[in-house]
Amino acid sequence: MTLAVEAGMTLQVARQHAAAAGLSLPILLGSEASAQIGGVVATNAGGSNVLRFGMARSRLLGLEVVLADGRIWKGLRSLAKDNAGYSLSQIFAGSEGTLGVITAAAFQLTPLPRQTVTVLAGTQDIGAALRAFRRLRSGSAETMVAAEYMSRAAIKVSSSHRFNPLAAALSEQDGVLFEWATTSDTADFEPVILEALVVALDQGDLIDPIVAKNEAERLAIWSLRDTIGPGQGDAGYSVKNDVSVPVSQLVELVERGKKAVLEIAPMARPIVYGHLGDGNLHVNFSPAAKADNLRLQEVEADIVETLADVVDALGGSFSAEHGIGQSKRHMLAQRRPGVEIDMMRHIKAALDPAGILNPGKVL
Ligand code: LAC
Ligand code: ZN
């Protein structure tokens, strides 16, 4: 139940290899056709199954890495248990190429699900979405694999990029996508979920749910979700934020975050969507009108810092799943305790004393 692949293989091909053996590499990214395994590990990619399976590092068992001094570390072990010293693979996961060059990775797989239930529903706002999520998950924590939120504005940019009739079916509401999967073939899997949905409906937190009847309908639901990113590109300049807060603070994040940003950037149009179950939302902004493009670009840095202040006040992270790169280096230095930065610098100096690996990134 493990898979070892070279770093240049795309996530999609790796997942196809697993599926051919009746297994799943449960890392779900909209960009799987282009995302390569080396990058998936080096960025500790998140995506839409984190709720159930964790980020890329949770699936990681071993790595092969070329070190800064030219030596090759052959740590491609496929062991579920390996406490022989420090967890070196984990240090490279999320290191963004600054500690070594990943050339191969071994992952823990899961059995391929036998049944999947995918639901798209309208919802009043993030608060109602969260109430529905909590209620549904309380009875199905082992099988709920995704819980995604899409504001109405996010649904609109998605469907104008690639027309999707599901956008109209949500009739001017925000949307939520829930997915459950099980390796069991029990006959009551779907009926039990549908019963729970009816309760959420009765309580007014979900509106007009659509349950995928086949794989094509399931893919259409996911396409609406995964086209938000590309769709935002059509709406002019994009200010992107990838933030997380404790799930209990999500409503505050959206309300306070939008208010604080619109005070300093009234020409910004919020495009909010993301991973409800992980407390990770993409609180993005597009220009309200085409003429505002340049002005939005000019206040980008202020928007990012303003939102990060709100996130910090709520005990969150200014970078939930997209990492640091070069654009958020100063934020890492300013917003994390000195002791944390010190430990990172020591690790960097130990593995790359001359600073030749991906210079200018992260630290
Ligand atoms: C997503 C990427 C932007 O969730 O993280 O679509
Ligand atoms: Zn995301």
Ligand 1 atom closest to 322 (CA): 5
- pTM given for the model: 0.96
Cα–Cα distance measured from residue 235 to residue 229, given in angstroms and rounded to the nearest whole number: 11
- Tokens matching residue 279: 């407390």
DSSP secondary structure code for residue 332 in this structure: H
- List, for residues 27-75, the tens digit of each pLDDT value: 999 999 999 999 999 999 999 999 999 999 999 999 999 999 999 999 9
Which pLDDT belongs to residue 171? 80
Cα–Cα distance measured from residue 170 to residue 163, given in angstroms and rounded to the nearest whole number: 14
Span from the CA of 218 to the centroid of ligand 2 (angstroms): 19
Residue 30, ligand 1, Cβ within 6 A: yes
Which pLDDT belongs to residue 116? 98
Which pLDDT belongs to residue 41? 98
For atom 5 of ligand 1, the residue with the nearest CA is 47
- Tokens matching residue 37: 């395994």
Cα–Cα distance measured from residue 170 to residue 178, given in angstroms and rounded to the nearest whole number: 15
- List, for residues 119-142, the tens digit of each pLDDT value: 999 999 999 999 999 999 998 999
Cα–Cα distance measured from residue 298 to residue 8, given in angstroms and rounded to the nearest whole number: 37
Q: Which residues of the chain have pLDDT under 70?
A: none
Mutate to test the pocket of ligand 1, among 32, 282, 285, 322 (most ligand atoms within 8 A of CB): 282
Span from the CA of 71 to the centroid of ligand 1 (angstroms): 35
Closest CA to 104 of 77, 130, 86, 80: 77
Q: Which ligand is nearest to the Cα of residue 225, counting in written order?
A: 1
- Tokens matching residue 52: 């159930």
For atom 4 of ligand 1, the residue with the nearest CA is 274
Residue 323, ligand 1, Cβ within 6 A: no
**What's the Cα-to-Cα distance from 329 to each of 271, 333, 359, 360, rounded to whole Å?**
24, 6, 12, 8
Asked whether the beta carbons of 147 and 178 are under 8 A apart, the reply is: yes
User: Which positions ≥6 away from 75 have C-beta within 8 Å?
Assistant: 62, 63, 64, 65, 88, 89
The torsion of the CA quartet 226, 232, 233, 234, rounded to 10 degrees, works out to 110
Asked whether the beta carbons of 147 and 202 are under 8 A apart, the reply is: no
